[in-house]
Structure 1
């Protein structure tokens, strides 16, 4: 990670409350986990992993000159005699070593078969006929040689991809074609998830009075199921500081980044802050000037960052999208979530309730002839509402001076997939 100025020390940051969102995001990136160590993995299981070193071709592609189609391999100098017939040489098949071709002969050859010594063009079989053991050219030849030269696609030792590239099936196919079997990738970033909430019940389980089904852990568990990540789930802890503190100690001992959900406010029933104090974690900030998600916080324990997300689902998801993802991608040096932000125009006036940064689900529409889409806010709602997120194309970042944002105001929108 490149920093334009020396990063602040933890001592400089202790006790920061209700900071601006851009400052919170800057600190989150500054204290993102270190890049994971490299490891060698089989090419067959590399999709989605992040290259820890540049990828180079082990050999050229194709490794030898070969026929681009079925036909007859001849020498260019023998083309003028082909109409009068050329003697047949031995057939050359794909997957077999090239055979010697007698001078002046036409050797039957299949697509992909190696060109014999002395032959430099392939005549398509559709232009030829066979009579008396000779090949006759019956129609004028193409002006193309129909030969794939050695290294035509990739040269030996050519760089296929730089470090930080996310392996795709297409790149894996190219690497395989060049003879690679294993590649160097970053070890998965280990992310521990610690949830709290006596009211939370797993999906499908019966509810007792006062309980709700857990949605935030379902979302985070699905989001973090990526080849470049390894999720370590510590389940839902009871709303008491001691078991939460024990879970946090175990999490920092096994993970590169810890994410907690719930119990992050200042209420007497919120155990996260009390547990963090019990563990001796250093508070980098707690409380951000944003809506929803004000209780968002960042701590540091034994060299491991801990992000405390709010308990309300929409607020937690906003904090995840804009802060946790930024830390993960900073650590990996790769855009593993295919994150994209677009510049859009508000379709209608929007009045902010307070002059804090606000995030709202929007639908995007691009009118014909317009380079910039319009963003229509589909809900304001509470930080606990999830249904607007399902219907949204993205999350609009609503900031600036004053409470009124007029129609046509430019806003940044994080696109959702």
Structure 2
């Protein structure tokens, strides 16, 4: 881990980008597997998929109507046409069609090669076995031409794409029953601290319920992630190290919360090292979330987040999410957020990028969201976080934000989520 030590020695606090670069350098892309397309939504494609066929496979009628000979359409012929056949979806057209005739076509029916246009049934007059065309039509009207949607060998699924039901439909339409995807990344979540108790268990006079593990289990519960609950562990260095040594071999990533601040009772970094790995504490220029550590234990990455819930959430959004996407081979794109305007002061001390829980209170005359900080916010406070609509971002170089000033804002549930 010398690369981390060299980077961190040069600065008292590391910016977010430096920590992300260090983690990306250490990340390994996981293997792929083949799964049924019905199970692929939310998974990440491992390779480009090409179509084995054109779509439509044959020219089709776009609606219920009547087909007219190409030569008659080109010559703008109108009048009465005898109906020489009927084709429904899945049916086979009759033999060659002569000029001066029409054919009944239902939506999705194969269009005979002689047909130049299809006229919807509402725009013609039928009388027995003849149909009256009163106005000329254009060549190609209401005909879905072969290959107009998908060409032979077109890429129907790019590599490293998060698959959703649209892609599943296209794969099925081009004949695929399975697809190669990045295998699920195996992530273990561990909370540390003598003070922690599992929800539903009796509390002592000085214990608290663990909220970090359930929060992160919820946040990271994604189709491309396989989660393992590693439970709680107390502040005992030997037990902590032994537990990491026993569990890491079946995991790609271990995410810990707590025990990373650097006091004599914060054992996470030492536990990773005693288990046979390497870890480095990094002081991040972030508020909340300054304490942070990253390391490796065999092939398993170990991301160590602060114990305060809001700091743990910020750390997971900033660092765990990008790490998992990098391991899936997904190109990283910055999450831009939206422009917002402060409706009340935001107090800020320079030197650290700050993420402030904020509430939307309306819009400016130009339609820009107006936001204010949630009162009583703090890295250990959950109510203020739950009341917020998102996180306002104050860059490290800024001072206090005055009403009317511009701010970057990440709404929960959309821009700033997994």
TM-score of Structure 1 vs Structure 2, range by shorter chain: 0.7 to 0.9
Kindly indicate whether the alpha-carbon contact (under 8 Å) linking 2:186 and 2:252 is maintained by their aligned counterparts in 1.
yes
Counterpart residue number, 2:271 = 275
The match for 2:98 among 94, 100, 103 is 103
* 1:234/1:247 contact within 8 Å kept: no
Q: 1:14-413 alignment to 2 at 5 Å?
A: 19-22=13-16, 24-78=18-72, 83-86=79-82, 88-104=83-99, 105-126=101-122, 127-131=124-128, 134-137=129-132, 139-140=134-135, 142-143=137-138, 145-334=141-330, 339-353=335-349, 355-364=351-360, 367-370=363-366, 372-379=368-375, 381-401=377-397, 403-413=399-409
Give the whole-Å Cα distance in 1 for the aligned partners of 2:182 and 2:397: 42
Tell me if structure 2 keeps the 8 A contact 1:355–1:401: yes
- Rate the CA distance shift 1:151–1:389 in 2: closer, same or farther, 3 A: same
Q: What is the CA-CA distance between 1:172 and the residue it aligns to?
A: 1.8
Change in Cα spacing, 1:412 to 1:386, as seen in structure 2 (3 Å) is same
Query: How far, CA to CA, are the matches of 1:172 and 1:340 in structure 2?
Result: 28
SS at match of 2:324: helix
Task: Determine the C-alpha separation between the residues in 2 that align with 1:94 and 1:206.
Answer: 66
Shift of 1:399: 3.3
Quote the offset at 1:217 in angstroms. Answer: 0.9
Ranges in structure 1 where 5+ consecutive residues have no aligned partner = 1-6
Contact 2:14–2:282 under 8 Å retained in 1: no
Aligned position for 2:411: 415
Unaligned runs of 5+ in 2: 414-418
Q: Is the CA contact (8 Å cut-off) linking 1:263 and 1:272 kept in structure 2?
A: yes
Superposed CA deviations along residues 356-404 of structure 1, whole A, max 9, x for unmatched, are 3332111246635537544321135332111222222222232334753
Q: What is the TM-score with the length of structure 1 in the denominator?
A: 0.86
TM-superposed deviation, 1:119: 2.4
Q: CA RMSD for the aligned pairs?
A: 3.1
Tell me how far 1:28 sits from its aligned partner: 4.3
> Does the CA-based 8 Å contact 1:122-1:145 persist in structure 2?
yes
Distance 1:335 1:364, change over 3 A: farther
Instruction: Give the 3 Å change call, closer, same or farther, for CA 204–24 of structure 1 in structure 2.
Output: farther
Give the TM-score, by structure 2 length. 0.86
Greater relative CO (CA pairs within 8 A, separation 6+): 1
